[in-house]
Amino acid sequence: MYEIRLHSRGGQGGVTAAKILASAAFMDGKYATACPFYGAERRGAAVVSFIRLDDQPIRIYSQIRRPDLVIVLDKTVMETVDVLHGIKPDGKVLVNSSEPVDMKGHQTCHINLTEIALSLDLVIAGSPILNTPLLGALAKMGLASRESVITAISETFKDERNVRAALMAYEELQL
C-alpha cells in the first residue's frame, strides 16, 4: 500500500486533489481512498488529507501516520506543523516551491504550482487553486496515469484551464 499525506490550507484545493487522485487511480484499476482531516476552520486554516493507493482492497480508512509521500501545498504550514512527522525513512516529499527545499535528507521534488495556477487565472476569492496542477505533478510521479488524471479532472471541472494546469505541471516537474 502506498500512503500519502497532503498538507494544505483551506481553499487551496488539497481535499479536492485527494479525491480526484483517488478517482484517477481507480480508473487505472487500483484501489484508492481519500480522507480529509479538518475541523471547523475556514479558508486559510491548515488542512490535512490522506490518500491510500493499492492493488488490493483497502480496509483502512483513517489518518496516515507513516506516509510514503508527503505533499506540502503551502510552505508556511511547516512553520506550525511538523510535516515530516512519521515519514518513512525512504519517504519522498513534494513541495509547492519555486526553489529546492531541504527536507532533512528525504528525496524532495519541488514545483511552483502557485505560478502555474496564477498563469491560468485559476483563482477563487483571491487564492490560487492548486489542485489540478498538483494532479499533473502526481501523474508525472507515477501515482496515476496522465490519461486517468486528465479524465478525472475533466469529469470534475468543466473549465479547460484545469486540464491545462495539470499538463503544465506534468511537463515542468523534474524528478
Confidence at residue 175, expressed as pLDDT on a 0 to 100 scale: 86
pLDDT tens digits along 106-117: 999 999 999 999
Using 50, 70 and 90 to split pLDDT, how confident is the model at 144? very high
Give CA separation, 163 vs 38, 136, 155, 157, in Å: 27, 8, 11, 9
Residue 103, C-beta contacts closer than 8 angstroms, at least 6 positions apart: 70, 84, 93, 95
Confidence at residue 42, expressed as pLDDT on a 0 to 100 scale: 66
Superfamily of domain covering 2-172 = Pyruvate-ferredoxin oxidoreductase, PFOR, domain III (3.40.920.10)
Confidence at residue 44, expressed as pLDDT on a 0 to 100 scale: 75
pLDDT tens digits along 150-166: 999 999 999 999 999 99
Using 50, 70 and 90 to split pLDDT, how confident is the model at 125? confident
Taken as a whole, the chain contains a residue count of 175
pLDDT tens digits along 30-83: 999 999 887 655 677 889 999 999 999 999 888 999 999 999 999 999 999 999
Confidence at residue 40, expressed as pLDDT on a 0 to 100 scale: 57
Cell numbers for 73? 501545498
Q: Domain boundaries in the chain?
A: 2-172
Torsion angle of the four alpha carbons 174, 52, 134, 39, in this order, in degrees rounded to the nearest 10: -140
Q: What is the CA radius of gyration of the chain?
A: 15
Confidence at residue 61, expressed as pLDDT on a 0 to 100 scale: 87
Contact 95, 75 (CB under 8 A): yes
pLDDT tens digits along 11-34: 899 999 999 999 999 999 999 999
Q: Is 10 exposed, middle or buried (0-12, 13-18, 19+ CB in 10 A)?
A: middle
In 1-91, the DSSP E strands lie at 2-9, 31-37, 46-54, 69-72
By three-state DSSP, how is residue 7 classified? strand
**What share of residues in the chain are helix, strand, coil (percent, to 5)?**
35, 25, 40
Compute the distance between CA of residue 81 and CA of residue 170 in angstroms, rounded to an integer: 28
Taking the chain, what is the end-to-end CA distance rounded to the nearest angstrom? Answer: 22
Contact 89, 114 (CB under 8 A): no
pLDDT exceeds 70 at position 84: yes
